[in-house]
Amino acid sequence: MVKFKRSSKSEKEARKDILIAARDEFAAHGFAATSVEKIARKAKVPKSLVFYYFKSKKNLYQTLLRAIVAHPEPEKSLSYLTDESLEEPIRLRMLIELMCMNMTQMPETEKKILLWEMAEGRENLRTLAQELFIPRLEVTEDLLKSGIQKGYFKTTDTLLFLWSLIAFIMFYNMQKETYEGTAFYHRLYEERGTEELKNFALRHFFLALGWPEEKPIPEIPQEWRDKMQEITCHTNFLEEEWVETFLSKEEQA
């Protein structure tokens, strides 16, 4: 394979241009109907350069999908769930707020890629579920069980409770385009935004766990509030410096 001699800056620019082009093409056409030729043309790079950096169309797609759903430093994204210096209700509040932030900040192109992935059989999501989602679910379920043991929460089924929380927030955000142009869209997505979604989810799911209605939900310490933006996945990842950290880890794997 031909080696490309490029400066560090031009290499970063080329890889980012390829990722942006791939994001747009996969969002518009899905994996099966997108060609490396189209990606290279849109990125204004030789097709061979796409293969040089990403080896194959599938690897490029998997790299992009991973960047959409995973923080480049998983240990940082899980730190608040496992920090026992924080009481379980505070950790649960952080989980709910971060989920609302992640989903409402996700660009439409990324949502479309996820919808295409589901329509095309979910092969790559299955892999990511084993590697990323299930461990996170297990850690979160342990948090709920710990909160139950200490008397903070009550539920007959921790896993189904967690599933209902995830489903509510995901459905709210993934169905946005379905109702666009209707009066229902105005009521659900224009009169209500991230703050309303977050406040409702906090109140609703804490009450579902037996939290006393008159009791305030504990506040998140300011030092953790400051860290929450770092933990958030969807802040237009292609424009953030941490995409380079992500790509570097992919190369080392």
CATH of the domain at 67: 1.10.10.60
The verdict on 11 and 36 lying in the same domain is: yes
The verdict on 7 and 85 lying in the same domain is: no
Structural domain that includes position 27: 1-71+234-253
What is the reported pLDDT for 75? 62
The answer to whether 66 and 15 are in contact (CB under 8 A) is no
The verdict on 184 and 196 lying in the same domain is: yes
What is the reported pLDDT for 5? 43
The verdict on 46 and 113 lying in the same domain is: no
The verdict on 169 and 51 lying in the same domain is: no
The verdict on 80 and 134 lying in the same domain is: yes
Q: What's the structural domain count of the chain?
A: 2
What is the reported pLDDT for 2? 46
The verdict on 152 and 216 lying in the same domain is: yes
Between 161 and 128, the higher pLDDT residue: 161
| 8-state DSSP, 131 | I
The verdict on 220 and 253 lying in the same domain is: no
The verdict on 43 and 114 lying in the same domain is: no
Measure the CA–CA gap between 174 and 112, rounded to whole angstroms: 9
Residue 249 has pLDDT above 70, yes or no: no
pTM over 0.85: no
Q: What does the buried/exposed string (b/e) look like for 14-53 if buried means 16 or more CB atoms within 10 Å of the residue's CB? A: bbbbbbbbbbbbbbeebbeebebebbbebbebeeebbbbb
The verdict on 181 and 197 lying in the same domain is: yes
The verdict on 56 and 176 lying in the same domain is: no
Measure the CA–CA gap between 247 and 237, rounded to whole angstroms: 12
Band of residue 6 on the pLDDT scale cut at 50, 70, 90: very low
CA 113 to chain centre: 12
The verdict on 11 and 100 lying in the same domain is: no
**Tens-digit pLDDT profile for residues 65-103:** 887 777 655 566 677 888 899 999 999 999 999 989 888
Lowest average pLDDT, out of 2-16, 60-74, 114-128, 134-148, goes to 2-16
Tokens of 64: 């992009």
State the CATH number of the domain containing residue 178: 1.10.357
Give the torsion through C-alpha atoms of 165, 167, 168, 174, to 10 deg. Answer: 140
